Structure 1
């Protein structure tokens, strides 16, 4: 569609939504204020830059596919991220792992990293991003080869990972200081047993003690916010995960840390959309890793499916967006990696827009009056409202490609840039 057609469709949509009490102009202003933390690891299949050519994945992490053109260097990864951002409306954040340090080609072990190894990332982000979020990297390392890090029975190995985690909090704090927005530092560890353990308690006691030592240093929350993330199981850790949902729920509440809910880290019958309202009652803030599990924690690119829409609705209905941090977590090497970012992020933003276009006050009044007929009628009618016309208009006003026009740009970028990476 051309500009005139988009504006005409939006005008009609604006009138339709006004009839049910929704101001689309206010909705678009609100949507523009919601940053999404885009996962750096989609661009290079979680390889990182500790070593030339990236690290060999281990610790419950696996990526599949061999689509050509993945980023091999920091400059290539940044170029790909910039291309993706140019096709996504709004201003967003970058979710960065510690293994993506800029070490100048000289190996630096993880307990020796400091803010200097990430200064180039900070400088690059200043004019491009809303901010950076951070993650200690507890996998793909010889001291994680037997499947345990912060809960390892060997104190010297625990101490190594504690030092790494403390260093990461200080790096994150410097990021927050220079970028003027708090860095969310997320702690996920792969510690798990492949088969049934004899002792489920001791590893969790060691993990809690390690986390307490890591968080002993007080850091200004305006610079850094700590989050802890659970997992149901992983490859090679199918029978017992030290950092289970119950463990981290208890830890986050008792220590008043952020709890990270990852869409793929639960039983297939569980949905994180159903957990958001409960978690927000007891945790100070919440971190989401939005992904798409297919039968397990497979981290597929986010689609505009029912669960994504429900997650977005819960976020908007909560009235707690200032306390909820939204990030993506997927790594699909079977498709163009820039396209994966664009598809996933645009779908998440579409879901947020769809949720913002709900006449929530009318729905709440109907529910309080026990008028469940009206509630259901509105829910169903909203599904066929012209929300996509509002989305197209939002992209137009942000000078972002509308519809599939973005795909043509990705294919051109693939031809001119990514195809030459051999």
Structure 2
């Protein structure tokens, strides 16, 4: 391990010549929390409705062995994944992952149905985030939930979303970490609608009812998430970007930007600083869309780096909640968590190691030649040595050493499921 320390000292000197203190960068990185999405562990099946097929435009491909079959197995798998991810983080739950043997529908869920999750999170030193599950349910079969023209269906989803906020507040109060409760709805039409306004009026009215109950913002933050299209809603989605952004700004809610919920060539990295000019909080669902909202495992590509740069260069990390959102059933699910999470943290580290002040100064002075030259040279600076040192300091495997442990866990545990 001496070589890791030696490489870090060399990297520290290299970045130091640029005015970057790597020790301070690593101290700051320790404070960043990534919200690890539970639904990667079982292909978005959940535990409330065992025989309910996926709906709402959600698809998971692949049948890799070892998907979690119950709450105990899911927590065990997440603990294994988190042991390879540096830092203290959060876990993001959907309502269908309630820890209960009780037969309960979504509109009847209470904090007591998640007591097991809270106790587990407390033991692990984790925070919890939450999402109402407005898909994969018989009352979502029409393609409409909270914007439905059927009063009974719409009221069901209003009740579910209202209960979800109380559950989020419960998480935040019990764990001492603010819960972000995110609202996404699959509502829309496959073909071109005649009336584009009425469903959005119904959604606005329904959300007004959901958010009418006062919830302590110290414990729960509400976020609304848009989408441009989905399977079954190719022509029209009620909760469009314009709708969600407008609603959030007017009603002091956070906006959720999902990397896969825009046009195939549109990116969220350029939206971050702009949205935070008009909202207090931002939620990110970091994914990797390949041609559409395919939710591939996050890799360290240009867009991931640019998302991290947007957050770091404009000093927006303290107002942004970073969650991952992908589900790949074609590879080891624990490895998917580890790869995606480590890449998100790596991208943040790389952005933190930039001499952002100097780069901004060059830009303001119009010295675009120096700006380009510096940005290109930074690409080969030894950030990998700083990453390895960080992993070692945080007692997680360095480089690909974690993979052998995942393979052993697959052989010893997952293969028996």
Bin of the TM-score, shorter chain as denominator length:
over 0.9
Change (3 A) 1:54 1:119: farther
Q: Which runs of 5+ in 2 are unaligned?
A: none
Q: Greater CA deviation, 123-132 or 160-169?
A: 123-132
How many residue pairs were aligned?
417
| Rounded Cα–Cα distance in structure 2 between residues aligned with 1:24 and 1:54 | 51
C-alpha contact 1:48 1:54 (8 A) present in aligned 2: no
Structure-2 residue corresponding to 1:194? 190
| Rounded Cα–Cα distance in structure 1 between residues aligned with 2:235 and 2:357 | 45
| Rounded Cα–Cα distance in structure 1 between residues aligned with 2:239 and 2:385 | 43
2:23 is equivalent to residue 25 of structure 1? yes
2:356 is equivalent to residue 376 of structure 1? no
Shift of 1:314: 0.3
2:45 is equivalent to residue 47 of structure 1? yes
Which of the residues 165, 169, 178 maps onto 2:174? 178
SS class of match (1:216): coil
SS class of match (1:288): strand
Structure-2 residue corresponding to 1:87? 84
Give matches, 1:341-380, under 5 Å. Answer: 341-380=337-376
SS class of match (1:49): coil
Question: Could you report, residue by residue, the CA deviation over 1:122-177 in whole angstroms, capped at 9, with x for unpaired residues?
Answer: 00001214310000000000000010000000111110000000000001101100
| Rounded Cα–Cα distance in structure 1 between residues aligned with 2:360 and 2:242 | 31
| Rounded Cα–Cα distance in structure 2 between residues aligned with 1:129 and 1:197 | 48
Shift of 1:268: 1.5
Give matches, 1:53-132, under 5 Å. Answer: 53=50, 55-104=52-101, 106-132=102-128
| Rounded Cα–Cα distance in structure 2 between residues aligned with 1:54 and 1:101 | 16
Structure-1 residue corresponding to 2:3? 5
Question: Could you report, residue by residue, the CA deviation over 1:59-87 in whole angstroms, capped at 9, with x for unpaired residues?
Answer: 11111100000000100000000000000
| Rounded Cα–Cα distance in structure 2 between residues aligned with 1:74 and 1:228 | 27
Give matches, 1:217-296, under 5 Å. Answer: 217-296=213-292
Q: Which runs of 5+ in 1 are unaligned?
A: none
Structure-2 residue corresponding to 1:305? 301
SS class of match (2:257): strand
Structure-2 residue corresponding to 1:133? 129
| Rounded Cα–Cα distance in structure 2 between residues aligned with 1:18 and 1:217 | 51
SS class of match (2:284): strand
| Rounded Cα–Cα distance in structure 1 between residues aligned with 2:265 and 2:333 | 29
Q: Greater CA deviation, 128-137 or 338-347?
A: 128-137
Shift of 1:102: 1.2
SS class of match (2:128): strand
SS class of match (1:28): helix
SS class of match (1:79): helix
Aligned alpha-carbon RMSD (Å): 0.8
Question: Could you report, residue by residue, the CA deviation over 1:297-330 in whole angstroms, capped at 9, with x for unpaired residues?
Answer: 0000000000000000001112121110000000
Give matches, 1:149-188, under 5 Å. Answer: 149-188=145-184
Shift of 1:54: 5.7
Question: Could you report, residue by residue, the CA deviation over 1:340-399 in whole angstroms, capped at 9, with x for unpaired residues?
Answer: 000000000000000000001111111121111111111001000000000000001111
Relative to the length of structure 1, the TM-score reads: 0.98
| Rounded Cα–Cα distance in structure 2 between residues aligned with 1:44 and 1:130 | 20
| Rounded Cα–Cα distance in structure 2 between residues aligned with 1:140 and 1:360 | 45
| Rounded Cα–Cα distance in structure 2 between residues aligned with 1:13 and 1:56 | 51
SS class of match (1:237): coil
C-alpha contact 1:392 1:402 (8 A) present in aligned 2: yes
